[in-house]
Amino acid sequence: MTDEEIARRIALLRDNARRARRWIKGAADEELSKRLSARAMELDAEADALEASRLPAGARVEHVQVQLQQQQLTDEASLLANDDDNADKE
């Protein structure tokens, strides 16, 4: 893959992950919400791996660590938002 193709693939993966997270809010049942959340994490992980593959070896480890921290924060925020939405519905 060329750098341009990799960049396009990363952008597509990130966009699809964002869409999955938006759909979580509208999910009618908890099982669908969990599957969407898992898929969003898979898409982000694939994008992270592609981004890391473009970095020099020393920077890859640091980049992956930062990406994991960002993903954890995003996932926690998403869960908190879902909890708030569920509390509002009750």
pLDDT of residue 56: 66
pLDDT of residue 50: 87
pLDDT of residue 31: 86
Give the length of the chain. Answer: 90
Report the 3 state secondary structure along the chain.
Answer: CCHHHHHHHHHHHHHHHHHHHHHHHHCCCHHHHHHHHHHHHHHHHHHHHHHHHCCCHHHHHHHHHHHHHHHHHHHHHHHHHHHHHHHHHC
21 vs 68, residue with greater confidence:
21
Q: Is the pLDDT of residue 5 over 80?
A: yes
What does the block give as tokens for 4? 């341009």
pTM for this entry: 0.57
pLDDT tens-digit map of 31-58: 888 888 899 999 999 998 888 887 665 5
